[in-house]
């Protein structure tokens, strides 16, 4: 990523202590690049920032309607949740309604990131299950689609009808031919795209298209907007920023990828920090939302990611700064 640019500086007093380089692209409704930093053509793995794209076949196939999925389930299909009770209860009910069990998931077991849920499991000597996995909502969607297609149980495999449907939707939304894939932390394929392609897909998701993919994206996006607590969870950037910027859907991904969908402006955003630092991707997406006039710079959720840095004794020791000039 030699064409990346410095996007975030971390200062301690008068010392520049750290710097994060990366790329960011803002696309308009026609897929045109409105603003860019770094190299828009840089190919990345979008990781969980593209879960809305991975959930598209759940809608376009008719599976969501056949199985009577509600808006909360659609939001969870796009989520990287933290395993709080509201997440795990919904996932368990979903797979139970499908006639499936925890063993049918192809994501691994994961300790909840939600502190109350994790503490309760420790106190009661429980071990994590697959439904605790932060991607279990997405995988519930995969299980639903697989059942609808009468496909085999290994829905995570690259040649499975579920993943082939995801691949086709992904390429159509990014308007690119993917150069390949990696296997994500949840064992599902994750297709590569340029940062501009990812932003283009988010811009398309910001509209209310008349085509099947555009309509499906709008339905999933609106589900995320209605239930931001299901997309991530309390204290998490996605949930907090969606609450702070009503009408804006945001989604983080591993290795510091971040996307945003802004329906009222028909704009999509994609950010990638090359060193994988979440503090930097959260800062950049926050700064971009402020720059685009959809987030108040004085909102606590904005200040949390762009404001002063305090030590354990409450002393202000530095600041985070984003360079978008």
The separation between CA 50 and the C-alpha centre of its own chain, rounded to angstroms, equals 6
Per-residue pLDDT of the chain (325 residues; tens, 9 = 90+): 569 999 999 999 999 999 999 999 999 999 999 999 999 999 999 999 999 999 999 999 999 999 999 999 999 999 999 999 999 999 999 999 999 999 999 999 999 999 999 999 999 999 999 999 999 999 999 999 999 999 999 999 999 999 999 999 999 999 999 999 999 999 999 999 999 999 999 999 999 888 999 999 999 999 999 999 999 999 999 999 999 999 999 999 999 999 999 999 999 999 999 999 999 999 999 999 999 999 999 999 999 999 899 999 999 999 999 999 8
Reading phi first (left if > 0) and then psi (alpha if -120 to 50, else beta), residue 259 is in: beta
Ordered by start, the domain boundaries in the chain are 41-267
Q: What is the DSSP string of 133-160?
A: STTHHHHHHHHHHHHHTT--S-TTSTTS
pTM metric for this prediction: 0.97
Tokens of 83: 């395993």
């Amino acid at each position: 990523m030699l064409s990346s640019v410095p996007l975030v500086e971390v200062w301690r007093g008068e010392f520049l202590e750290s710097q994060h380089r990366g790329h960011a692209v803002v696309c308009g409704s026609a897929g045109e690049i409105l603003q860019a930093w770094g190299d828009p053509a840089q190919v990345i793995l979008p990781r969980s920032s593209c879960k809305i794209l991975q959930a598209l076949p759940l809608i376009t196939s008719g599976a969501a309607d056949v199985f009577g999925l509600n808006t909360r389930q659609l939001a969870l299909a796009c989520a990287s949740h933290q395993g709080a009770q509201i997440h795990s209860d919904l996932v368990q009910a979903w797979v139970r309604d499908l006639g499936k069990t925890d063993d049918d998931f192809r994501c691994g077991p994961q300790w909840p990131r939600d502190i109350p849920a994790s503490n309760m499991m420790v106190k009661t000597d429980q071990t994590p299950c697959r439904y605790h996995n932060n991607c279990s909502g997405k995988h519930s969607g995969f299980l639903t689609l697989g059942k609808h297609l009468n496909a085999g149980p290994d829905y995570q495999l690259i040649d499975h009808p579920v993943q082939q449907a995801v691949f086709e939707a992904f390429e159509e939304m990014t308007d690119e031919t993917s150069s390949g894939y990696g296997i994500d932390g949840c064992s599902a394929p994750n297709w590569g795209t340029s940062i501009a392609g990812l932003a283009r897909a988010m811009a398309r998701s910001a509209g209310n298209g008349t085509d099947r993919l555009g309509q499906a994206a709008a339905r999933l996006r609106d589900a995320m907007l209605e239930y931001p607590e299901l997309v991530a969870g309390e204290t998490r950037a996605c949930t907090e920023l969606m609450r702070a910027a009503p009408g804006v859907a945001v989604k983080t991904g591993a290795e510091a990828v971040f996307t945003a969908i802004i329906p009222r402006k028909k704009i999509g955003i994609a950010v990638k920090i090359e060193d994988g630092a979440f503090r930097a991707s959260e800062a950049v997406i926050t700064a971009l939302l402020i720059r685009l006039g959809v987030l108040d710079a004085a909102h606590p959720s904005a200040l949390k990611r762009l404001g002063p840095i305090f030590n354990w004794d409450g002393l202000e020791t530095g600041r985070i700064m984003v360079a978008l000039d």
